[in-house]
Structure 1
Amino acid sequence: MGEKKCDTIPLINPSPSSSTQGTASKLQTIGNIIVSIVGTGVLGLPFAFRVAGWLAGSIGVVITGLATFYCMLLLIQCREKLASEEELKETTTYGDLGCRCMGKPGRYLTEFLIFISHCGGSVAYLVFIGQNLASLFKLHGLTIASYIFLLVPIEIALSWIGSLSAFAPFSIFADVSNLWAMAFVVKEDLQQAIGGKFSFRDRKAFTDNLGGLPFAGGMAVYCFEGFGMTLALEQSMRERRKFPKVLAMSFTWIALVYILFGIFGYMAYGDETKDIITLNLPKDWTAIAVQIGLCLGLAFTFPIMVHPVSEIVEGKLKKNIWFEKLRNNDAEDSITRLEKLGIYMGRAVLVIVLAVLASFVPGFGVFVSLVGSSVCALISFVLPVSFHLTLLGSSLSLWQKALDVFVFLCGLLFAAYGTYNTIIGF
């Protein structure tokens, strides 16, 4: 197969050093997988279980986890296929697969979907923070949108920090806050159960509204979405041949935690379960500390979420004629200053645009389900099987082709119906 010429983007194409032998142990890889997948979306799962029913939600999490795991393995198989060809040794990323399979349109499609998914994640961060702050500080005249816009100057300043490594401690803090919040919610749930404050019979196993099923499915897809890191995680492992087993083990534990957390949250609060479970917590100092910790963690990790979006935008801008003219000018120092000013202004505008979008979002749960049903479903299911069929179709057995086609069609139908249902029904 001849090599297609493809443009490069920092988000999609790592530095050459990323192709070196990995050093991560099995335990470190499990930790990296969990950190890459588990995020604030898990705090919306009890609401998804309320919408779908506790048994339907559990089945949905299992199916989503299995499908995501299968498609991640397909990506690795595609990369190995291309790596086995001498002239395509350097092909190691998700974006490269799109380019090799469909040419430049494939790269543009992959970039666009990754761009939209990170924009969606960034908006979800702002909505989450806004809703929690609004529930904590009920100041007269301040809406959720008001709290979101109060964050804008802080997020603009943080987006100007050049090194993402500076945010590493805050990323760890955000992960610890998530775990702390989950543990605290489970404790509250158990107290509700022990105190006899709910009846198990009052909790529905399956929803009466069929529209609730794709809604919960979109939430589950969002919670499992981590495809941008699949190939990087596999490459980082010292014993890469063991990665499928490590991935399977990680997904098993993640799915189990998701199911238990969703069930506990729904059982405790029933029809009163809110789209962010922390909003159901009592207003004591411990619960307030949990919410503030989550908000601080997300506020300082927002630049990490939005950074890939900035890279794509800046990568395109630098190819424009006016940037080229700046570089060709004799006054090199002024070029550097002007170029940096343009980048800083671009990042500021990006944060403002995301904040404006977040101010129109009706709720965290609805938005997360929409992102999961649309762009995450395409990234997680449709693209991987498309790449797999294109690159390895001729060598696949009939049942493998049938399974790929089945996942492809289900992914497309889910993306279409799930998006429509979320927009129209909620």
Structure 2
Amino acid sequence: MVNDSNGNLPPPQELESFLPQDDKNEKVLRTYNLRKEKDAESGDYDPFSERNLENPTSNMDTLTHLLKASLGTGILAMPKAFKCVGIVSGVFFTILVAVVCTHCAYVLIKCAHVLYKKTRKPAMSFPEVAEAALDNGPIGLRKWSNTFRVFIIISLFMTYFGTCSVYTVIIAKNIMQVVLHYMEDQKNVLGIRIFIIILLIPLIFMVWIKNLKYLAPVSMIANLFMGLGLGITFYFLVGTDGLDFNKVVPIKPPNEWPEFFSLTIFAMEAIGVVMPLENSMKTPRSMLGFCGVLNKGMSGVTLVYILLGFLGYLRYGDAVEDSITLNLEPQLGDPKVYEVLAQIVKVAIAIAVYCTFGLQFFVCIEIMWNSIKDKFTKRPDLADYVMRTIMVTACVLLAVAVPTIGPFMGVIGAFCFSILGLIAPAFIEIITYWNIGFGPYKYLIWKNVLVLIFGLFALVFGTKDAIISIIKVYSA
């Protein structure tokens, strides 16, 4: 029924027409799967030559986006993180977290490249990679593939939608502090909610940028302003008085370590934007490799995280605040100069976070649009813009309703980022290489067991710390 006159199998595209609607013809289904795997192994299908993009991003564009996604406002908490483990342990533990997070992102992309050939698809999102891994894995797990995909989708959407709502609050707070610094008589009139509402129109315009290629200059602007804010911060940290090692402890007791990992993992993690960036690249293979875009970007991010954490803790010791900007005090010259510089830091961080909003919200837009685009085939562009406007409005209204949303998102972030950024990639790699092999001494299994343990550690203690933060905020 399936073979041609010469006894050869037709290509998978033709075999799909013979796929059974029930379990009556399992032989055809097995033949189909075997042919797909044979084609994948033979290398006949090149997914990257089949990928047609109107505006592909260059390696430099992708690197810029990656830096902005990983170098967020969480970096300002690195001195506090160092306080939890000690100045020597902080350096080594930051490198450990960076290696694990980068490795998990690397694993996700590597598995995607394997699954592109197995499924004969030129590109896939994170949820699609998760689904394809189970679809092509052990028979007993294939029935759970759609459930796994839906779980990844919901987790990604909740995490990044909430994160963007928190970003809105951060932008508004920084702007409000600068405005009220020069308009003290308006303190009883201008509240945080007014500043959040004012941000609605600018954020809508930001999210209307539909292509990652056009978001690259915006990410570059964000990097420049974040660099300006960090540069001024470093200026105050180094000062002219010298740094006193007597203020710090080399290694803290292990019972204080969990907070370090929860702060660092969730500040550095950017698993949600990895696949959108790879899918938009002109040369996707350049994402991987020892000197690939991913390793270059995360190496730079790690260096900045270590520098700020080290110098911040060394300057202020155990007196360091949750955000290092709260510790800034006049160290040099005229206090008026300090006052101006302090306000510049707040404005620079506000602009940097605003310019990051579009990239972070891109994850939510992609998820929502993929779920509704089949219903709007007549005027898809109009539907796309309307959807983006409604979603941004909902995000801003959430921030208006709950300006103290940060601690709540800490729970979702701790839960979702541990699963999405650490546990899920390790699980996907095991399933993807189930039929390919786990290498000498099955090292892939042992390596991923360690990653899973690390992820569970971050999940449990990160969630605990976030819940404690909620109790502190609302008990006050």
Distance 1:316 1:203, change over 3 A: same
Query: Residue type of the partner of 1:244?
Result: F
1:292 alignment partner, one of 329, 341, 347: 347
1:71–1:385: 8 Å Cα contact kept in structure 2?
A: yes
1:118 is aligned to 2:160: yes
Query: Residue type of the partner of 1:174?
Result: A
Match of 1:61 in 2: 94
2:111–2:428: 8 Å Cα contact kept in structure 1?
A: yes
1:384 alignment partner, one of 397, 416, 425: 425
Query: Residue type of the partner of 1:275?
Result: D
1:204 is aligned to 2:253: no
C-alpha distance in 2 between matches for 1:81 and 1:201? 52
2:263 alignment partner, one of 219, 223, 226: 219
Match of 1:80 in 2: 113
Name the stretch that deviates more: 402-411 or 281-290: 281-290
2:86–2:251: 8 Å Cα contact kept in structure 1?
A: yes
1:411 is aligned to 2:458: no
C-alpha distance in 2 between matches for 1:28 and 1:345? 25
Match of 1:11 in 2: none
C-alpha distance in 2 between matches for 1:136 and 1:289? 9
How do 1:335-374 and structure 2 match up within 5 A? 343=387, 346-356=390-400, 359-361=403-405, 370=411, 372-374=413-415
Task: Give the CA deviation at 1:78.
Answer: 1.4
Query: Residue type of the partner of 1:252?
Result: S
Task: Give the CA deviation at 1:369.
Answer: 5.6
C-alpha distance in 1 between matches for 2:303 and 2:367? 35
2:87–2:248: 8 Å Cα contact kept in structure 1?
A: yes
C-alpha distance in 2 between matches for 1:368 and 1:263? 27
Distance 1:357 1:390, change over 3 A: farther
Provide the TM-score with structure 2 as the length reference.
Answer: 0.70
1:244 alignment partner, one of 277, 290, 293: 290
2:166–2:399: 8 Å Cα contact kept in structure 1?
A: no
C-alpha distance in 1 between matches for 2:247 and 2:268? 29
Distance 1:206 1:357, change over 3 A: farther
1:29–1:237: 8 Å Cα contact kept in structure 2?
A: no
Task: Give the CA deviation at 1:19.
Answer: 7.4
C-alpha distance in 1 between matches for 2:177 and 2:410? 22
Query: Residue type of the partner of 1:284?
Result: E
Q: Answer 1 or 2: higher relative contact order, Cα 8 Å, separation at least 6.
A: 1
Task: Give the CA deviation at 1:408.
Answer: 1.6
C-alpha distance in 1 between matches for 2:209 and 2:319? 41
Query: Residue type of the partner of 1:263?
Result: F
Query: Residue type of the partner of 1:401?
Result: I
Task: Give the CA deviation at 1:131.
Answer: 3.2
1:90 is aligned to 2:135: no
How do 1:266-345 and structure 2 match up within 5 A? 266-282=313-329, 283-317=338-372, 343=387
Deviation string, structure 1 residues 273-310 (Cα, Å, up to 9, x no partner): 33332333345212312321221333344244324323
Unaligned runs of 5+ residues in structure 1 are: 4-13
1:216–1:369: 8 Å Cα contact kept in structure 2?
A: no
1:82–1:91: 8 Å Cα contact kept in structure 2?
A: no
Match of 1:100 in 2: 132
Deviation string, structure 1 residues 308-361 (Cα, Å, up to 9, x no partner): 323433544556xxx67xx8xxxx89x997x57963662354233431365023
Secondary structure of 1:287's match? helix
C-alpha distance in 1 between matches for 2:467 and 2:401? 15
Task: Give the CA deviation at 1:367.
Answer: 6.8
C-alpha distance in 2 between matches for 1:123 and 1:409? 31
C-alpha distance in 2 between matches for 1:253 and 1:345? 34
Higher Cα radius of gyration: 2
1:402 alignment partner, one of 446, 456, 463: 446
Distance 1:199 1:72, change over 3 A: same
* Aligned positions, number: 396
2:69–2:359: 8 Å Cα contact kept in structure 1?
A: no
Match of 1:181 in 2: 229
Deviation string, structure 1 residues 153-188 (Cα, Å, up to 9, x no partner): 543455456667665543322110111111211111
Query: Residue type of the partner of 1:116?
Result: M
Distance 1:263 1:112, change over 3 A: same
Secondary structure of 2:199's match? helix
1:171 is aligned to 2:215: no
C-alpha distance in 2 between matches for 1:344 and 1:24? 25
Match of 1:10 in 2: none
Secondary structure of 2:321's match? coil
Deviation string, structure 1 residues 351-386 (Cα, Å, up to 9, x no partner): 334313650236xxx678655532222121111111
1:38 is aligned to 2:71: yes
1:171–1:301: 8 Å Cα contact kept in structure 2?
A: yes
2:115–2:133: 8 Å Cα contact kept in structure 1?
A: no
1:23–1:238: 8 Å Cα contact kept in structure 2?
A: no
Provide the TM-score with structure 1 as the length reference.
Answer: 0.77
What percentage of aligned pairs have identical amino acids? 20
2:78–2:305: 8 Å Cα contact kept in structure 1?
A: yes
